[in-house]
Structure 1
Amino acid sequence: MAAAAEPTEGRPAPRRADARRNVAAILNAATECLAKNPDTNMAEIAAAAGVGRMTLYGHFPTRAELVDAVMTRTVAHAQQALDAVDISGDPRQAVARLVAGSWQIVDQFRNVLAAAERELPPDRIRAAHDPVLDRVFALIERGQQSGAFRADLPLPWLTTLALTVMHAAATEVSAGRMTADQAPSIVTSTLLAALTAPADYA
């Protein structure tokens, strides 16, 4: 009988199929639960996933690690969705399209963001959003180069501002001070005002 194949040197052994299924079930359940209630606890997530608490903690030893995994997965989903958004052409119109496309995802998962803000340091949340922010950075940079956007403020600052305004809108909607339908136009107006060169205010 042939000996069992050894794992390739330098690579971890493939995860067992049942373990992969458990992780997928946990992440699916955690995403759904946290999207409804950012305070959902680990026991509730385990029950929703159909796994025991020991299994859950075996894959995600802390709630912060699970929230981090859900946030990372959500951002990856956002990346795929935003790939379909056309940000070519007039930079100001492109901002409006990007905000509209982004808001659909932010609104759906704003409670996941709330959970992340309670569990994770700001630097980690920012790092997780870097893939999405790369396209914001590129769009603002193009607008600056074309003269459509102000160039007197640092590009990284304006990119951070875009993320902050979007997350602030999610907070306002959750608090009931703004409706989800109002948010895209308010965010767009706020960003375009911030991106407009001072001379254009006159």
Structure 2
Amino acid sequence: MNAPRRRADAAENRARIVQVAREVVANTDEVRLNEIAKRAGVGQGTLYRHFPTREDLLAEVYRQDVDELVAAAPKLLAEHDPITALARWLDRVADYAEVKRGVFAAVEAGVWQDLSAHSLGPIGGALTTLLDAGKAAGTVRPDVDARDVILLIGCLTRLEQGEWDTKARHLLHIVLDGLRHRP
């Protein structure tokens, strides 16, 4: 009877640690594990039990963001017309890219390559789903594919932290305007 509660506590602690780490990565340049543990309300031992290294924690933040971004595509298509779904998905990309930039800045090159490989396939698939729906509806240009869009949104990595809030979504709206089909 005690073991299931401990597992639930461990899962809650892990989720809280990842959420706090995501907030820290999105809002500061310095990721300190002791600060994350304190903000998550757990001891350092608990943090290190779940994430033995800083890279392990940041990789989990990144993986969760990729999973959420990928899962959003079909949900948005179920709720909106294809071009609106694509626009809302691109808004989520701005949030994802901000965290991605912070994670990539904080991890070693080898870990960065593993994280990048983890995201490109699933994100490309989600983007293809959105683009195909827009093409079928006649609202997205027929000559674009997911790789085109991924290359274009790569511009977000060049933004300075101070211009993120004013430029990230603006640039993605420009990309969206370029994706619209104009007969």
TM over 0.5: yes
Partner of 1:130: 121
Count of residue pairs the alignment pairs up: 173
* Identity in percent: 24
Corresponding residue for 1:35?
26
- Measured after TM superposition, the shift of residue 175 of structure 1 is 5.0
Alpha-carbon distance in structure 2 between the residues aligned to 1:124 and 1:110? 13
Q: What are the Cα deviations for residues 45-74 of structure 1, in whole angstroms up to 9, with x where unaligned?
A: 111111122221111111111111111111
- After TM superposition, the structure 1 = structure 2 runs for residues 69-88 of structure 1, keeping only pairs within 5 Å, are 69-86=60-77
Q: Distance in 1 between matches of 2:129 and 2:44?
A: 44
Taking only aligned residues, the RMSD between alpha carbons, in angstroms, comes to: 3.7
- Structure 1 or 2, whichever has the larger Rg, is 1
> Secondary structure at 1:182's aligned position in 2?
helix
CA distance in 1, matches of 2:89, 2:160: 15
- 2:102 aligns with one of 107, 110, 115: 115
Higher helix proportion (structure 1 or 2): 2
CA separation of 1:108/1:57 partners in 2, compared to 1, >3 Å: closer, same or farther?
Answer: same
TM-score (norm 2): 0.71
Distance between the aligned counterparts of 1:173 and 1:100, measured in 2? 23
Amino acid at match of 1:71: Y
Letter in 2 for 1:164: L
One-letter code aligned to 2:159: E
2:75 alignment partner, SS class: coil
Q: Indicate conservation of the 8 Å contact 2:73/2:127, yes or no.
A: no
Q: Distance in 1 between matches of 2:146 and 2:90?
A: 16
Amino acid at match of 2:167: T
- In the TM superposition, what whole-angstrom CA distance separates every residue of 1:152-179 from its partner, at most 9, and x where no partner exists? xxxxxx4233223224236427352752
Q: Give the conservation status (yes or no) of the 8 Å contact 2:70–2:126.
A: no
Listed as ranges, the gaps of 5+ residues in structure 2 are none
Q: 1:53 to 1:164 in 2, by over 3 A?
A: farther
Aligned ranges for residues 54-69 of structure 1 at < 5 Å? 54-69=45-60
Q: Which has the higher contact order (CA 8 A, sep 6+)?
A: 2
Alignment of structure 1 residues 1-202 onto 2, 5 Å:
16-86=7-77, 94=82, 96-118=83-105, 119=107, 120-138=111-129, 143=135, 148-150=141-143, 158-169=145-156, 171-172=158-159, 174=161, 176=163, 179-190=167-178, 192=179
Q: TM-score with structure 1 length normalisation?
A: 0.65
CA distances 1:3-40 after superposition (whole Å, capped 9, x unpaired)? x9xxxxxxxx9972332222122112112221212532
